[in-house]
Amino acid sequence: MSETRTGTTPHARATDDPDAGTVPRPRPGGRSARVRAAVHRAVAELLTEGPAEHLTMPAIAARAGVHPTTVYRRWGTLGELLAAVAASRFSGDLVVPDTGSLRGDLEQWTADLATDLTDPDSIAIIRAALSSGTEGGCACTTERQEQLASMLDRERSRGGAAPTVERALDALLAPVYYRALFTPAPGTPDWARSLVDTLLPRPA
């Protein structure tokens, strides 16, 4: 059981935790993984149910069916826990498409991103992670920036021209995240696709 998603957030993802079996950590055994999954799920659930102020360490522990001491010892601060949850939630959940053309890739990827941020779960986690310093905020976007960069690089290796990562960030990532955070309506996939037109020269 590697963080089975029990219905609260039906969200497609490829791998659940990035560094699960890579580094030979002291003891990534069955129970530790189980506890971590329960705690992560508890954070997500409490974040959707009530306001962020009620998200406290004992509450998380109670929801997860775990003793509060465990949560304190493993994660230390609520901020670190939120950063960990955010990193786990926003890594490996989107796959970079390969439609053959840069435009197609970007359109599909941006639409997927916008759809992903439709989930109130995601928005709540981003908000909470942001409140705990820059690290938590970066945890929500670094993976996405890398994916964007990889698509642009692939186009260049094809021999085509591609804009800067910086400009792509400003044109695609920034609007999607801005809408999700600052407006009640997160933005539709069609709108997200149209963002690509502002980045790439028109098709022909």
Partner DNA sequence: GCATTATTGCAGCGATCGTTGCGTTCGGGT
Partner DNA sequence: ACCCGAACGCAACGATCGCTGCAATAATGC
Chain residues binding DNA by CB under 7 A are 25-32, 35-36, 56-59, 65-70, 72-74, 76, 78
Report in angstroms how near the CB of residue 149 gets to a second copy at its nearest.
14
CB 78 within 8 A of CB 171: no
Each residue 136-155 as x (binds a second copy by CB under 8 A) or -, in order, gives: -xx-xx--------------
Report in angstroms how near the CB of residue 24 gets to DNA at its nearest.
7
Q: How many CB atoms lie within 10 A of CB 190?
A: 9
Q: What are the CA-CA distances from residue 20 to residues 16, 17, 46, 65, 77 (Å)?
A: 8, 6, 24, 22, 22
Q: How many CB atoms lie within 10 A of CB 58?
A: 11
Q: Which does 26 bind (CB under 5 to 8 A by kind): a second copy, DNA, none?
A: DNA
Radius of gyration of the chain (CA): 18
Report in angstroms how near the CB of residue 153 gets to a second copy at its nearest.
20
Query: In this chain, which of 127, 143, 165, 193 binds a second copy, going by CB under 8 A?
Result: 127
Each residue 70-89 as x (binds a second copy by CB under 8 A) or -, in order, gives: -------xxx----------
Q: What are the CA-CA distances from residue 84 to residues 77, 124, 135, 170, 184 (Å)?
A: 11, 14, 10, 26, 26
Distance CA 125, CA 139 (A): 11
| Nearer to DNA (CB atom), residue 44 or residue 46 | 46
Each residue 3-42 as x (binds a second copy by CB under 8 A) or -, in order, gives: ----------------------------------------
Nearest CA among 120, 98, 124 for reference residue 109 = 98
179 contributes a contact to a second copy by CB under 8 A: yes
Report in angstroms how near the CB of residue 131 gets to a second copy at its nearest.
4
